[in-house]
Amino acid sequence: YWGESYYTDLIDLRLGGIARELELEDRQSRLQQELRERMAMEDHLKTEEELSEEKRILNEMLEVVEQRDALVALLEEQRLREKEEDKDLEAAMLSKGFSLNWS
């Protein structure tokens, strides 16, 4: 028995990661929509403030994409680690004469 807190922590991390991914996806979508609306006007008709705001939105979008990429990589790393732990557990159980079926 590995303790309930171990599995609770894994579940919390996974659900938290999923929630964060959805939050970032929503933020990216809203930024893209806002940028599309702003870019509908030709640049030579925009004020310096409007051009600066477009640049800020674009930079924020890039940050959100980077955060999403990092989160996806973290979740994938966690998934692979859990898979390896399952293999180790199965090997330990098999070595003691137990038979497991993970399907």
Handedness of CA 88, 89, 92, 98 (dihedral sign): negative
**pLDDT digits over 53-87, tens only?**
999 999 999 999 999 999 889 889 888 988 898 88
Per the model's pLDDT, the better-predicted residue between 2 and 96 turns out to be 96
Q: What is the pLDDT of residue 95?
A: 86
> Model's pTM, two decimal places?
0.69
Please check the confidence at residue 101 and state whether its pLDDT lies above 70. no
**pLDDT digits over 11-34, tens only?**
666 778 788 889 999 999 999 999
Residue reference for tokens 């959100």 = 64
Q: Cα–Cα distance between 39 and 36 in angstroms, integer? A: 5
